[in-house]
A and B are shown apart, each in its own frame.
Chain A
Amino acid sequence: QSALTQPASVSGSPGQSIAISCTGTSSDIGGYNYVSWYQQYPGKAPKLIIYDVSNRPSGVSDRFSGSKSGNTASLTISGLQTEDEADYYCTSYTTRTTLERVVFGGGTKLTVL
């Protein structure tokens, strides 16, 4: 069981907006602004799309945005496109245990209908 909770799947139609949630605790998401999001296509390495809650790396479409409220972070994709169909993972800095410092969510499969 992953430390951060994401919905297993979400879906949307082209042009719509969707949001993927990522829920943790005050020891990770709620306590630090160190949340990142990754996009992964089958058989490919993940790609960073959001870091430090809401920052986009250079070259990432502005259709991707991130936010946080309390212990829950969210990734919003606006103007859905078929190419957005992929798996999405959140990750956060954590101080839950003595040695662990990073935790991932279980991942969310986005289907563009």
Chain B
Amino acid sequence: EVQLVESGGVVVQPGGSLRLSCAASGFTFRDFSMHWVRQRPGKGLEWVSLINRNGRTTYYADSVKGRFTISRDNSKNSLYLQLNSLTTEDSALYYCVKEKWGSSWTAYDSWGQGTLVFVSS
């Protein structure tokens, strides 16, 4: 069974930083591109970032580029998201998601339970 378990969400002040982690199990992690998707309270889904299988190719939403960095450690079956220069607009539930095998970019067949980031002074 595929499991994605996020951690690292906390309350942080504007301008602060934190790192989110996602522990993956139940599948061959190194064979899949991975994404982060967020959802602000009471709002819709927003794609944040993706990283390819070997970690050499990354993409970001315009709203986070230059501030967030996605990475992965295939030896630890783990995905990460470094969040810097946080604003209140970054307050959201952050989901770690796995691409469906053989599909393209937008098909996520497994989601974690999410980790909550709250930016407030």
- Which residues of chain A are near B45, meaning CB under 8 Å? 38, 40, 46, 89, 91, 104, 107
- CA separation between A45 and B3, bound complex, in Å? 13
* With known contacts A46-B45, A104-B44, A36–B59 Cβ distance under 8 A: no
Q: Which A residues touch B60, using CB under 8 A?
A: 99-100
Known contacts A45-B112, A97-B62: A52-B103 contact under CB 8 Å: yes
Q: Is A63 an interface residue (CB 8 A)?
A: no
Asked whether B74 is an interface residue with its Cβ less than 8 Å from the other chain, the reply is: no
Residues of B within 8 A of A97 (CB): 62
Task: Tell me whether B62 and A99 are in contact (CB under 8 A).
Answer: yes
Please indicate which of the listed interface residues B46, B50, B106 has the most CB atoms of chain A within 10 Å of its own CB. Answer: B106
**CA of A91 to CA of B35, assembled, Å:** 13
* Cβ proximity bits B89-104 to A, threshold 8 Å, 1 near / 0 not: 0000001000010011
Interface size of B in residues (CB-CB distance below 8 Å):
25
Q: Does B27 contact A (CB under 8 A)?
A: no
| B64-103, CB < 8 A from A | 65, 95, 100, 103
A89 contacts across to B, CB distance below 8 A: 44-45
Interface residue? A103 (CB, 8 A): yes
Give the complex CA separation of A106 and B24 in angstroms: 28
**Neighbour of B100 across the interface among A35, A57, A101, CB < 8 A:** A57
Residues in chain B within 8 A of chain A (CB atoms): 35, 37, 44-47, 50, 59-62, 65, 95, 100, 103-109, 111-114
| 11 A-B pairs in the complex with CB atoms less than 8 angstroms apart | A2-B44, A45-B95, A45-B111, A46-B45, A46-B108, A55-B103, A91-B47, A102-B35, A102-B50, A106-B44, A107-B45
